[in-house]
Amino acid sequence: MSSSVQRKRIRKSPAARRAEIVDAAAAVALTEGLECVTLRRIAEELDVRPGLISHYFPSAEDLVAEAFGSAADGELDTLLPARRPEGTSSEHLARFFVRATGEAYDAVSRLWINARHLSRYRPALRERVVEQEAAWRERLTDLLRQGVERGEFRTDDPEVTSIQILVVLDGLGAHANTETGGRPEAVTRMAVTTAERELGLAGGTLGPPPVSP
């Protein structure tokens, strides 16, 4: 009756199986946390035996690192698509802030906190975190640079500005696990405010204007 009682083996190509494992691990990492990415948990997810996961990832730590990398990659792509066929830089940046401030982003904030903490003990994960930090920074820097070229933004150093924006976002996301009540609007708006200030934009260009009486 239940499909969980599966006896028959399903044999897949190494590439396909590996991808399947990484996908499942990334999903678990994003929803339940990186410490739930265990051989048993992922095996259960795919309805295979734990030994199989070990076969593809002889060290469990590598799977955890891969899970984070994959999840972060995916999030970055929806947050700041590499290809931006149409729209102004301001529009792209505004969309970025909408996504990165919405409640749906909490899961991503949690993942980053998770990874940043766990990387204290796991070198393989730490490497991935450093990689992803660079990737996110570069992707945002690219967008800012494009805006500068188009004359939309004005900043001496797009990279410094993008780091500043990301620092504020990290600070806002830090509370994703504890946040209870609402925050003052001046706090919620900090990321947008920072961007507008550092890019020489008028208030309200990148998001809802501060306080409408």
CA-closest candidate to residue 106, choices 203, 36, 33: 33
- The entry of a copy of itself, DNA, none that residue 120 binds, CB within 5 to 8 Å by partner kind: a copy of itself
Query: Is residue 13 near DNA by the rule CB under 7 A?
Result: yes
Select the span of 42-50, 95-103, 162-170, 190-198 touching DNA (CB under 7 A): 42-50
Query: Is residue 205 near DNA by the rule CB under 7 A?
Result: no
**CA–CA separation, 116 vs 34, rounded Å?**
11
Query: Is residue 120 near DNA by the rule CB under 7 A?
Result: no
User: Which residue of 87, 149, 167, 204 would you call a contact of a copy of itself, by CB under 8 A?
Assistant: 167
Residue type at 112 in one-letter notation: W
Query: Is residue 182 near a copy of itself by the rule CB under 8 A?
Result: no
Residue type at 26 in one-letter notation: A
φ, ψ at 70 (rounded to 5°): -65, -45
CA-closest candidate to residue 195, choices 128, 138, 130, 147: 147
Chain-centroid distance of CA 103 in Å reads 14
Select the span of 44-52, 78-86, 149-157, 201-209 touching DNA (CB under 7 A): 44-52
- The entry of DNA, a copy of itself, none that residue 50 binds, CB within 5 to 8 Å by partner kind: DNA
DSSP class of 184: P
For residue 9, give both structure tokens.
Answer: 């083996």
Helical residues (DSSP H) of 36-157, grouped into ranges: 39-46, 50-56, 60-79, 89-101, 106-118, 123-149
Angle in degrees, 0-180, between the axes of helices 123-149 and 158-173, rounded to the nearest 10: 130
**CA–CA separation, 69 vs 111, rounded Å?**
11
- The entry of a copy of itself, DNA, none that residue 51 binds, CB within 5 to 8 Å by partner kind: DNA
User: Which residue of 14, 102, 151, 184 would you call a contact of DNA, by CB under 7 A?
Assistant: 14
| Nearest distance in Å: CB 208, DNA | 43
φ, ψ at 159 (rounded to 5°): -65, -45
Query: Is residue 31 near DNA by the rule CB under 7 A?
Result: no
User: Which residue of 90, 110, 143, 206 would you call a contact of a copy of itself, by CB under 8 A?
Assistant: 110
For residue 11, give both structure tokens.
Answer: 């044999």
* Count of chain residues binding DNA (CB under 7 A): 26
Positions that interact with a copy of itself (CB under 8 A): 33, 35, 110, 112-114, 116-121, 126, 129-130, 133, 157, 159-160, 163-164, 166-172, 174-175, 177-178, 180, 183-184, 186-187, 190
- Contacting residues toward DNA, per CB under 7 A: 7-14, 17, 36, 38-41, 48-52, 54-55, 57-61
